Amino acid sequence: MSALQTLPDEQLLLLLKKDDKAAFTEIYNRYAKSLAGFAGSKLFDLEDARDIIHDLFVKLWNDRAALVNTGNLRSYLFSAVRYSVVDRIRRNITRQDYSLLVQSLAEQHEHTIEQHIAAKELSAMIERSLDELAPRTKQIYQLSRNEYYSIEEIAKLLNLSEQTVKNQLTTALKHLRGSIPCTAALLTWWLMW
């Protein structure tokens, strides 16, 4: 048993602020499993939960010098995970809205002229929005969403790190959400049309 395992969180934070990697490792060992379990129970997706925990600890390390001793590290970490889970759910709902809309358009057998026009307009908006992205970001998005490659497969194919692929996908999705005016209300109206 290492001496760090017996230290209270406040002392670990002080060591972390002084760039102590062992203190960071102890914080990770102390909380990562329960944080992942908490995130997984809310998201029902272990991969998303792992991503959130990974991002949290990367941020913790990168922002270590600016950390303020909140008095309760455990509460701070769980609050950060809770906000990330809410954000992830919100982003997934938006992504699912677009996916459902495009899927419903593709699956309908009897399309009205208005539906054909709306489908073409939506496809054109998506393509125009994707053309605004950097070529590599667009390529990663298309491999993920159009060709159904996993993040790991894209990273290997393009000789990039998985985190780079995730970052590029996040950039693409954020750009699409901001540039295409499609909401859950529009999706509902469209499906009832």
One pLDDT digit (tens) per residue for the chain, 193 residues: 577 778 888 888 888 888 889 988 998 998 888 888 888 877 777 788 888 999 999 998 998 888 776 668 888 888 888 888 877 777 766 655 556 555 655 555 445 666 556 666 777 777 888 888 899 998 998 888 777 778 888 899 999 998 998 998 888 878 877 776 654 444 334 334 3
The half-sphere exposure of 64 on its side-chain side, counting CA atoms within 13 A, is: 17
Measured distance between the N- and C-terminal CA atoms of the chain, rounded to whole angstroms: 65
pTM here is: 0.49
Structure tokens at 101: 């809309």
pLDDT of residue 118: 65
Q: Distance of alpha carbon 190 from its chain centroid, rounded?
A: 27
Give one DSSP letter per residue of 22-60, joined into a string.
HHHHHHHHHHHHHHHHHHHHHHS-HHHHHHHHHHHHHHH
For the chain, which domains are there? 3-88 (1.10.1740.10), 108-192 (1.10.10.10)
> What tokens does 23 get?
């203190």
Give me the pLDDT at residue 190, please. 38
**What pLDDT, on the 0 to 100 scale, is given for residue 158?**
92
Per-residue confidence (pLDDT) for residue 14, from 0 to 100: 86
Q: Which residues of 144-174 are buried (b: 16+ CB within 10 A; e: fewer)?
A: bbeeebebeebbeebebebeebbebbeebbe
Query: Torsions phi, psi of 19, nearest 5?
Result: 70, 30
